[in-house]
Amino acid sequence: DTGVSQDPRHKITKRGQNVTFRCDPISEHNRLYWYRQTLGQGPEFLTYFQNEAQLEKSRLLSDRFSAERPKGSFSTLEIQRTEQGDSAMYLCASSSRRDTLPRYNEKLFFGSGTQLSVL
Amino acid sequence: AQKITQTQPGMFVQEKEAVTLDCTYDTSDQSYGLFWYKQPSSGEMIFLIYQGSYDEQNATEGRYSLNFQKARKSANLVISASQLGDSAMYFCAMREGFGGGYNKLIFGAGTRLAVHP
């Protein structure tokens, strides 16, 4: 396994610009999650994909946010008209049934994240 | 609503000593899972250990053990024989909901551990 890969590692943008992040999960992991982590806080759930289907979106994901996972492989997270409050680390995680813990719990494998700074 | 509380923003420990990182949780579910993840400065979250609410034994994974006290709703992480590479942020997390399906985690604010030589 090569691990979860996220690109870019860092993104600096001006307020009002659109940005897109990419996540490549561990191959054969059918479950993919996006989390957001602000400074001094733990990650917060944003959205979940099972294969190509987006099954849940947090209310944190405003209309300016859109996530896709075409063909059930890599995923993209786009933020339109960025605001300074969008500045955060965006983490992607993947999992599969192979990594099942008791009672349907799973290990999540996280990428190193994309650090977004909105000026 | 479920909630995870980590009251120690930062902890220091001498190399080779043991350290306990505190975690309390709040849930009305009878069945739940508790997790600890480590986040080094590189950013990725690394799974350390899992404890199920119905597990009678405390979970152990190498130098990591979980001191699970269900009545007190605490799930403290114990790291034995600390190493310099243990310096990182540590997050306690709980799975929202239970049963089959995906694992949506709720995280605490984290504890920054510094291991001194």
Q: B12: exposed, middle or buried (C-beta count within 10 Å: 0-12, 13-18, 19+)?
A: exposed
Q: Which residues contact B65 (CB under 8 A, 6 or more apart)?
A: B49, B58, B59, B77, B78, B80
Q: Which of B35, B47, B66, B112 to mutate to test the interface with A (most CBs of A within 10 A)?
A: B47
Tens digits of residue pLDDT in A26-44: 998 999 999 999 999 999 9
Task: For A94, list phi and psi in degrees, rounded to 5.
Answer: -135, 160
Rounded to whole angstroms, how far apart are CA atoms B74 and B70?
6
| Residue-level pLDDT at A104 | 66
Other C-beta atoms closer than 10 Å to the C-beta of B82 total 20
Element (H, E) at B66: strand B64-69
| Residue-level pLDDT at B32 | 86
pLDDT higher than threshold 60 for residue A82: yes
Question: Averaged over B16-30, what is the pLDDT?
Answer: 95
Tens digits of residue pLDDT in B32-79: 889 999 999 999 999 999 998 888 899 999 999 999 999 999 999 999
The first and second tokens of residue B111, run together, are: 């504890």
User: Interface of chain A against chain B, CB under 8 Å?
Assistant: 3-4, 31, 33, 40-45, 48, 50, 55-56, 89, 91, 93, 95, 101-113, 115
Subunit contact A112:B42, Cβ cutoff 8 A: yes
Subunit contact B104:A95, Cβ cutoff 8 A: no
As a whole number of angstroms, the longest Cα–Cα distance in chain B is 44
Closest Cβ–Cβ partner in A4, A31, A91 for B102: A31
Q: Which residues of A touch B100 (CB under 8 A)?
A: 104
- Bridge partner residues of B36 (DSSP): B49, B92
The first and second tokens of residue B22, run together, are: 């505190």
Q: Which residues of B touch A88 (CB under 8 A)?
A: none
To the nearest whole angstrom, how far is the Cα of A30 from the nearest Cα of chain B?
A: 11
Subunit contact A45:B91, Cβ cutoff 8 A: no
Whether the bond into B40 is cis, omega within 30 of 0: no
The first and second tokens of residue B67, run together, are: 């001191």
Q: A1-5, A94-98, B8-12, B97-101: lowest mean pLDDT where?
A: B97-101
The first and second tokens of residue A45, run together, are: 């759930």
Q: Distance from first CA to last CA of chain A, Å, rounded?
A: 36
pLDDT higher than threshold 60 for residue A50: yes
| Residue-level pLDDT at B95 | 87
